[in-house]
Amino acid sequence: MPPLPVLVGAGETVDRPHDPVLGKEPLALMEEAARRAAEDAGGGARLLAALDTVAVVANIFHDYGDTPTMLAERLGCRPARRLLTTWGGNTPQSLVNHLCDEIAAGRSEAALVVGAEAAQTMRALGRLGRTPAWTPPRESSAPRWGDTRPMSTELEVRHGAREPLVTFAMVENAFRAARGQSLEDERREMGAFGARCAAVAADNPYAWFRDRKDAHTIATVTAENRLVGFPFTKYMNAMLEVNQGAALLLLAEPAARRHALPADRWIYPWAGVDVAELWFLTERRDYHTLPGLERAAAELLATADVPLARIRHLDLYSCFPVAPRLTAAMLGLAPDDPRPLTAAGGLPWFGGPGNNYATHAIAALLRQLRADRDGFGLCHALGWTMSKHALGLYAAAPPPRGWQRAGGPALQRWVDALPHPALVEEPSGTGVVEAYTVVHGRDGAPERGVVIGRLDDGRRFIATLPADRAVLEGMERVEGVGRPGRVRSVGGRNVFDPS
């Protein structure tokens, strides 16, 4: 049997200085997390010195350039392979899947996955007009690891459907309508879901928010908790202004034994899968399902021969409430399933350190599985507007058939061949709303609206709503999905006037 990959250690750090401008830089947080992972594994500095691969999850707020080499020098190792990813919240789990492939193929024995952000400190310095006095960047000609496609089309950007606070809210509204849920029932469900996540975060020493917000506080619109992208309040949005870092150590099982690492702390990756939906938002089959994820998850569990009922520990990516709830539906979990959908606490409550949340999620699953030796854990990570998915299955017991990679080119070809509506760039005529949101300003007032809809002949369009407060507020008082209206193109921008 090929060498088994094993997670031997995880390390996390959270930096909360009394004055945010005094926070540590991301490179220092990465080093701290990596050293903690090595100590957690029982190997310390000698284990770091043996690394043959250093894989860094890309920073959003401060790009060092050749981050893997700079970090390797700090850790005292000379890895033959250094990876720096593209952007996307899927990348930590995607990296684990890739590195497990490499270990099973005999091309790697000891790999580090690490990432960190210091956005709170960077923004605090920015508000003072100061530039961070951090380690200078270093140029690198190495290509980024991962998918380099942009998140949005020019047409989507032109109509205001680029920021996640817009696009995920549009999907949430479509998800609600498809289930026949009322606006009030949805609000209560999102609040209850958020409260469960906030309770998990409160018990996580590495979480940013540990105040255990309740459902009413999360769901109720106030001056402190304004609407952002309808129906999401501020407390439902991923919190990017954090200083957090996390690291994972993946070894081949023979190397772990050679280093005399304590086997009772090992967690085995059993199987992994990566898939992309039809890439751009306006290309999707619909806005209340994720067929790529649904099929990928089914193939993952079938490949590992592990039924969903045996998975006791989950972390489903939760940048906004719709993401884990829709993912759970695609996995086949009932809305009232008692299993928590997060192990770490979720991005709005644990914190959203750029692309690196899933590294924290896997670390949290590792701790849970060390305590539950018979359990299974599942991590789901996503990038862009639910475009890129990565899933990993973990357990304390070694997989009887070794590491398994599910999916592959055949899965992606199936997704890419899915039928979907034709898109009209300059529509004219009558149609109905498929998905929409209303974006609010910092003063809480509605500023603009975005609609994706279908013309009477079934073709799809994207448009803005009229800049009329009564129209915008009306779309929030009464269900907007299925609302008829007329769309027109004016000066390169489409406008939808609801009836």
* Interval 56-93: pLDDT, tens: 999 999 999 999 999 999 999 999 999 999 999 999 99
**Residue 448 is assigned to a structural domain of this protein:** yes
Same domain as 438, residue 411 = no
Task: Give the integer Cα–Cα distance in Å for 340 and 318.
Answer: 12
Q: What is the pLDDT of residue 141?
A: 84
Would you call 49 exposed, middle or buried from its count of C-beta atoms within 10 A (0-12, 13-18, 19+)? middle
Same domain as 296, residue 410 = yes
Backbone angles phi, psi at 193, to 5 degrees: -60, -45
Same domain as 397, residue 437 = no
Pairing of strands 493-498, 484-490: antiparallel
Q: Among 395, 416, 437, which residue terminates a domain? A: 416
Q: What is the pLDDT of residue 142?
A: 85
Same domain as 129, residue 21 = yes
Residue partners of 284: CB distance under 8 A and separation at least 6:
277, 278, 420
**Residue 122 is assigned to a structural domain of this protein:** yes
Q: Among 387, 416, 445, which residue terminates a domain? A: 416
Distance set, CA 22 to CA 132, 147, 240, 266 (Å): 10, 35, 18, 36
Same domain as 350, residue 294 = yes
SS3 content of the chain, % helix, strand, coil (to 5): 35, 25, 40
**Residue 196 is assigned to a structural domain of this protein:** no
Mean pLDDT, range 133-143, rounded to an integer:
92
Task: Give the integer Cα–Cα distance in Å for 369 and 309.
Answer: 16
**Residue 160 is assigned to a structural domain of this protein:** no
Task: Give the integer Cα–Cα distance in Å for 448 and 54.
Answer: 44
Same domain as 317, residue 282 = yes
Task: Give the integer Cα–Cα distance in Å for 292 and 271.
Answer: 17
Same domain as 472, residue 326 = no
Same domain as 366, residue 244 = yes
**Residue 402 is assigned to a structural domain of this protein:** yes
Following CA atoms 450, 383, 426, 466 in sequence, which dihedral angle do they give, to the nearest 10 degrees? 10
Distance set, CA 471 to CA 106, 117, 454 (Å): 61, 39, 19
Under 8 Å between Cβ of 431 and 484: yes
Task: Give the integer Cα–Cα distance in Å for 57 and 114.
Answer: 6
Mean pLDDT, range 187-204, rounded to an integer:
98
Same domain as 326, residue 265 = yes
Taking Cα atoms as reference points, which of 497, 373, 377, 370 lies closest to residue 430? Answer: 497
The CATH number that applies at residue 491 is: 2.40.50.840
Following CA atoms 176, 182, 183, 189 in sequence, which dihedral angle do they give, to the nearest 10 degrees? -70
Over residues 337-374, the pLDDT tens digits come to: 999 999 999 999 999 999 999 999 999 999 999 999 99
Mean pLDDT, range 443-462, rounded to an integer:
97
Query: Which residues are bridge partners to 483 per DSSP?
Result: none
Range of the domain at 490: 429-498
Same domain as 298, residue 366 = yes
The overall average pLDDT reported for the chain is 97
Q: What is the pLDDT of residue 310?
A: 97
Task: Give the integer Cα–Cα distance in Å for 122 and 120.
Answer: 6
Q: Is the pLDDT of residue 1 over 90?
A: no
Query: Which residues are bridge partners to 65 per DSSP?
Result: 138
Q: Is the pLDDT of residue 493 over 90?
A: yes
3-state secondary structure of 244: strand
Same domain as 476, residue 365 = no
Domain count, the chain: 2
The CATH number that applies at residue 272 is: 3.40.47.10
Taking Cα atoms as reference points, which of 451, 476, 454, 452 lies closest to residue 465? Answer: 451
Confidence band for 172, pLDDT divided at 50, 70 and 90: very high
Same domain as 476, residue 377 = no
**Residue 232 is assigned to a structural domain of this protein:** no
Q: Among 351, 383, 416, which residue terminates a domain? A: 416
Task: Give the integer Cα–Cα distance in Å for 225 and 148.
Answer: 35
Structure tokens at 127: 């508000």
Mean pLDDT, range 272-277, rounded to an integer:
98
In the block, residue with structure tokens 């914190």: 351
Contacts 24+ apart (CB under 8 A), 303-311: 303/271, 303/273, 303/404, 303/405, 303/406, 304/270, 304/271, 304/393, 304/399, 304/404, 304/406, 305/401, 306/270, 306/376, 306/393, 308/332, 308/333, 310/376, 311/339, 311/375, 311/376, 311/377, 311/378, 311/393
Single-letter amino acid code for the residue at 85 = T
Taking Cα atoms as reference points, which of 244, 239, 240 lies closest to residue 23? Answer: 244
**Residue 494 is assigned to a structural domain of this protein:** yes
Under 8 Å between Cβ of 377 and 383: no
Under 8 Å between Cβ of 61 and 117: yes
**Residue 476 is assigned to a structural domain of this protein:** yes
Distance set, CA 260 to CA 110, 130, 220, 295, 363 (Å): 14, 47, 53, 40, 21
